[in-house]
């Protein structure tokens, strides 16, 4: 979406284990546990990590739950690929296909794709549009020595409810570990940051689990936002203490950006910005809890209003 880059958001995010964690590897080993953590070669040896795709899936799923919760009793603002195709919360990908058939078109214009997309697909992408949110692999924090331990399990017979015959298995889990990653968002609307604020709040409060064995108590983590950078490029930059979403940075609104964001939003306590060494980017840095909370307090109302105002426009 857009062939120019006007704003960026970089979020330093860490995840620490509260209960044993297992992101299963797809590889096989000889004489090893039946299930073991995914590993990578780093710092001269093998170490466990959390794939960015795993974190991304959890964040998207939780964002969908939040969106559906806030839209109870109204037309959905989040598509559902698993529902009956006759229902209105049809997956965006199915709606795009039906719209192309209706119009006799082979390909949809990027502006139409974004306009038709549900709130979640606008941020996380779909079969027709790339995601604007990218998450890197989460590696062990420097100095962190992750511990692994072996656990035994047994398969359950779904008919009897008892143990399956010969279904004993062994798994290896990770405990006492802290991982770090970076989340990058390009050409963002402010309401999208507000939605992520809800997600990160639930991570911080321990309401999000990841990986295998959630029903067994595995995978409970605490997530923490350590730093946020908002970066602005081009000629139309805000001045502290104001920030802008993409709507205020472009002329016209062919993509259907949220019109309520066609203005500056003031962040309490934001007094200055820095430029990169070439003067190409103007950078706002939120480096402590007070500054980060001040940013969240600015963008969360944007999300609340956006999800409340959303009109179901599927084009089919």
Judge whether residue 260 has pLDDT over 90. Answer: yes
CA distance linking residue 92 with residue 197, whole number of Å: 24
Q: Are strands 282-286 and 139-140 parallel, antiparallel or unpaired?
A: unpaired
Closest CA to 141 of 292, 13, 24: 13
Domain spans in the chain, listed from the N-terminal domain onward: 7-14+47-139+186-309
Q: What angle do CA 297, 54, 306 make, to 5 degrees?
A: 30
Q: Are strands 178-186 and 163-175 parallel, antiparallel or unpaired?
A: unpaired
The whole-number average pLDDT for the span 34-42 is 77
- Looking at per-residue pLDDT, the higher value among 30 and 304 belongs to 304
Is-contact 30 91, C-beta < 8 A? no
Of 5-9, 82-86, 96-100, which gets the smallest average pLDDT? 82-86
What stretch of H or E contains 93?
helix 92-103
Q: What is the pLDDT of residues 114-138, one digit of tens each?
A: 988 899 999 999 888 889 999 999 9
């Amino acid at each position: 979406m857009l062939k120019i880059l006007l704003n960026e958001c970089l979020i330093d995010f860490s995840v620490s284990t509260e209960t044993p964690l297992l992101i299963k590897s797809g590889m096989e080993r000889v004489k090893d546990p039946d299930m073991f953590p995914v590993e990578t070669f780093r710092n001269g040896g093998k170490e466990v990590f959390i794939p960015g795709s795993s974190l991304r899936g959890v964040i998207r799923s939780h964002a969908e739950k939040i969106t559906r919760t806030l839209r109870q009793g109204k037309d959905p603002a989040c598509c559902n690929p698993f529902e009956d195709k006759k229902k209105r919360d049809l997956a965006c990908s199915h709606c795009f296909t039906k719209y192309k058939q209706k119009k006799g078109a082979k390909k949809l214009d990027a502006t139409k794709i974004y306009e038709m997309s549900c709130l979640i697909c606008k941020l996380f992408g779909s079969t027709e549009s790339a995601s604007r949110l990218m998450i890197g692999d989460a590696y062990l924090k420097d100095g962190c020595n992750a511990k692994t331990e072996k656990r035994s399990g047994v398969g359950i017979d779904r008919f009897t409810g008892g143990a399956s015959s010969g279904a004993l298995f062994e798994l290896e889990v990770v405990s006492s570990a802290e991982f770090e990653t970076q989340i990058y968002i390009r050409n963002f609307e402010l309401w999208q940051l507000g939605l992520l604020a809800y997600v990160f709040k639930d991570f911080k409060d321990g309401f999000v689990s990841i990986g295998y064995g959630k029903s067994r108590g595995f995978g409970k983590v605490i997530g923490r936002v350590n730093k946020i950078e908002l970066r602005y490029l081009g000629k139309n930059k805000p001045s502290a203490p104001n920030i802008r979403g993409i709507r205020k940075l472009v002329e016209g609104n062919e993509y259907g950006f949220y019109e309520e964001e066609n203005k500056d939003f003031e962040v309490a306590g934001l007094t200055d910005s820095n430029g990169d060494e070439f003067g190409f980017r103007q950078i706002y840095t939120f480096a402590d809890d007070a500054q980060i909370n001040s940013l969240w307090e600015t963008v969360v109302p944007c999300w609340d209003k956006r999800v409340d105002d959303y009109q179901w426009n599927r084009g089919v």
